[in-house]
Structure 1
Amino acid sequence: MKITSSLFGIALLLSICFVACKKNDISQPATPKENQDPIDEKYLAKIEKLGFKRSSVKCYDSVFVVENDIIIAKKFLDTFRIPVVNPNDRHAHSDQSLSFNNIRIYASDAWWSNATYYSALNRAVYEWNAAGSNLNFHILFQTDQGIDWNLIFTSLPGTTLASADFPGVPDLNGVPGYNILVNQNYINALGLTSNQISWILTHEMGHMLGLRHTDWDINGEPNSQDGLWVGGNYFPNITVHDPSSVMMAVFNRNTNNGNVLLSSYDKLAVNTLYPLNCNLQTYINRSSVESSGSASGTLYPSYRGPVSLVEWQITNSATGYNYTSTDSDIEFQVPSLAPGTYVFRTRITTPTCVSSWASKTITIQ
C-alpha cells in the first residue's frame, strides 16, 4: 500500500511538471531536433519506469514528448528518483480482482489438437482448481456459452514466451479482451517440454487473477503499463521471499523443468484473494444445440470443491418429459433423449452450502 501511495504522489508531481512544460511550450513552441543523437539511456530508463513506452520518446530541446501528447522536462528527469519503499521480493497483487468465480477458458482447435499444449493447459487448469480457492476453471471448445479468457497462439516481441492481462485491464497486452497470448513458434524453437509450457501457462493465469511478479518490486516494475494502471499491493500474510513461486518474472529453461507449479505461498496468495465461501456458482457445460449422440455423454458439476450432493433435472414441457437425479457421485450420465427442446438444471450441495440452480435450454437434434 505504501508503494501505491508513493506512485500516486509521482503522478501528482508529474502532472505539475507537465502543466508547467505545456505553458512554456505554448509561448515558445519547441521544434524537434534534426538528425537527433540517440537519447541518453538514463532518460529512457526513467521514462520507462514511469510506465511509458521508450519507443514513443521524442526529444525537443529541453523536453521529451512521450506517447505524442505527454511532455516531460529533462530538468525534471535529472533530479527525479522513483521512490521504492522497502522492496522485499514478495508476493503482491493488482488493485482489481475478479468479480466472478467460474472462469471459462476458450481453447481453439489449434490447442486441443496439439497434444503437448493441450496436456500443458489441462495440467495448469488442474493446478489452479486444486489450489483450494473459490475459483473454478473450465476449458471450453465452443464460444456459444460465453467465455471469460481466450488462449491465442501468436508472435510476440523478443524473447517473450507469453503475455496476459490483469483484472480490470483487458487490453494490457494489446489485444482487446482478456487473453493469454502464447508465442508458440519461439517456445517450439526452444524445445520446451509440456511441463515447462504448463509452468508458463500457470504463470500467465496467475496474472489474469491479479497476481504480480513475486519479484516485481526488486525488479523495479512500475504500477502501470502503457498508461494503464495495474497497482501493486503486498499480501500482509506473506512476509517472506518465495523463490519457488510460479509468479517469478524470469523462466530459466535450463534450471526449471516445470515439474512443480504452484508453491505453498502461491496457493496462500490466491486463497487470500479468493477465499472459499458459500457464494457458489455453477453452469452447464453443453452447447445450446446438440446431436442426440453427443448429448447423452457424461456431465460434471462446474464447481470443483468438495461436493456432498449433485442434483440434475431434465424437462421437456412439450412432451411432459421429466428426469431427475440426486447423487453424491459428481458424474452424471445423461439419458438418451429424443429430438426436442429440453431445460437442463443442476445445483450442488457442499458440506456447508447449497448453490442456486443453474439452468440451460438445449435443443437435441
Structure 2
Amino acid sequence: MSKFLTLLALGTSATLAFTGCQKKEETAMAPAISQEVIGQVKALGFGTSDLRAVEGGYVVEGDMLLSNELLASAPGYSTVRVGSEEQYRTTNLVTGLPRVLTVSISSQFNSTYVTAIDEAIRRYNAAGLQLTFRRITSGTADLPVKYSSNLGSGVLGQSGGFPSGGNPAPGFTLVPNVINSSNTNYIATIMAHEMGHCIGFRHTDYFNRAYSCGGSASNEGASTVGAVLIPGTPSAADPNSWMLACVGNGVNRPFNTNDLTALNYIY
C-alpha cells in the first residue's frame, strides 16, 4: 500500500497496491534526525513514526512537508475532533476569497499528466467554490506541479505543505516512473488529493491511517496547524473520500457527497 505523500495524498503517507500521499510505509525513523527536530515535530502535534528528512524540512503523514521555519514556530492553534473518520482541515487556509489559483505543470510530464491536471482542476471548479483553479503555460503559478525521478523508495509524490499567510502551499511534486500508470483519472485523483493538502485539507482518516492504508492503527497527530472537523461530514468511516491517506492503485476517487460538503463549507 502506497501513500499520497501528500502529501500530503497528500499525498500523507504501505506498498504500491495503495496510493494516498504517495510513499511506502516506513517502519523506522531515520537515525540522522535529531532529538530536537523530533521534539519540534511532536510539539506541532504530528506523529514521528514515519518522519523523513528532505530538502527544506521534514515529511510527515507520508506526503506533507513541514518546513524548517514551521517547525521552529510551533504556533499554538487549538484542535477540535469528533469521531474518528471525518473530513479534516488545518487552521491554515487560503484567504482573499473569491480567488483564482493558477496551476502549471512541468514540461517534463507527458500529455497524460497534462490531461490529468486539467481533470483535477475541472473537479474543483465543478464544485462551485469561491476558490477556483486555472492552468497557465507561462509565468509563475500558485501551484506548480513539479517533476521528480526520485523522492525516496516507493514515493509517488509530495505536497509542498500547508497554506501560509493566506496563500496555498507552493504546489506539489510527482514521480511518474513510480506512479507507472497512464490512467488519467487515477493520476487526476492523486493530483486532486495533493491540491487538497495545498489548500489546507488533512487526511480524512488522519486519526487512524490503518483505515485506508492497512496495518496497525496509526494516529498522524492532531497538530497545532489543526485537525478541525468540518461540520456536516460523517462521524462514521467514509471509504471513498479524496483525502483518505491511501488509495488503491488505479482507483478513481472523484469528490463524493461528503467531500463536496467539506469543500463548500471551507471555500
TM-score, length-normalised on structure 1? 0.46
Q: CA shift at 1:102, angstroms?
A: 0.7
Structure 2 equivalent of residue 105 of structure 1:
103
CA 1:87 to 1:149, structure 2 compared with 1: closer, same or farther past 3 Å?
A: same
Structure 2 equivalent of residue 178 of structure 1:
170
Is 2:254 the partner of 1:261?
A: yes
Q: CA shift at 1:86, angstroms?
A: 5.6
Q: Is the 8 A contact 2:242 2:259 kept in 1?
A: yes
CA 1:203 to 1:52, structure 2 compared with 1: closer, same or farther past 3 Å?
A: closer
Structure 2 equivalent of residue 314 of structure 1:
none
User: Kindly, what percent of the aligned residue pairs are identical?
Assistant: 26
Structure 2 equivalent of residue 237 of structure 1:
232
* Structure 2 residue corresponding to 1:216, chosen from 206, 209, 217: 206
Which amino acid in the other structure matches residue 187 of structure 1?
I
Structure 2 equivalent of residue 349 of structure 1:
none
Deviations along 1:24-64, whole A, 9 cap, x unmatched? xxxxxxxxxxxxxx99xxx9xx97765476578xxxxxxxx
Deviations along 1:258-282, whole A, 9 cap, x unmatched? 1x411111111111001xxxxxxxx
CA 1:52 to 1:88, structure 2 compared with 1: closer, same or farther past 3 Å?
A: closer
CA 1:221 to 1:102, structure 2 compared with 1: closer, same or farther past 3 Å?
A: same
5+ residue gaps, structure 1 = 1-37, 57-66, 71-83, 275-365
Q: Is the 8 A contact 2:85 2:234 kept in 1?
A: no
Deviations along 1:9-28, whole A, 9 cap, x unmatched? xxxxxxxxxxxxxxxxxxxx
Which amino acid in the other structure matches residue 192 of structure 2?
T
Q: Is the 8 A contact 2:81 2:227 kept in 1?
A: no
Deviations along 1:208-230, whole A, 9 cap, x unmatched? 12111000012311244xxxx53
Q: CA shift at 1:205, angstroms?
A: 0.8
Q: Is the 8 A contact 1:108 1:141 kept in 2?
A: no
| C-alpha distance in 1 between matches for 2:162 and 2:112 | 26
SS in 1 for 2:108: helix
Structure 1 equivalent of residue 164 of structure 2:
168
Higher relative contact order (CA 8 A, sep 6+): 2
CA RMSD of aligned residues (A): 3.2
CA 1:55 to 1:99, structure 2 compared with 1: closer, same or farther past 3 Å?
A: closer
Structure 2 equivalent of residue 311 of structure 1:
none
CA 1:99 to 1:195, structure 2 compared with 1: closer, same or farther past 3 Å?
A: same
Which amino acid in the other structure matches residue 120 of structure 2?
A
Is 2:153 the partner of 1:158?
A: yes
Q: CA shift at 1:87, angstroms?
A: 4.6
Q: Is the 8 A contact 2:203 2:245 kept in 1?
A: yes
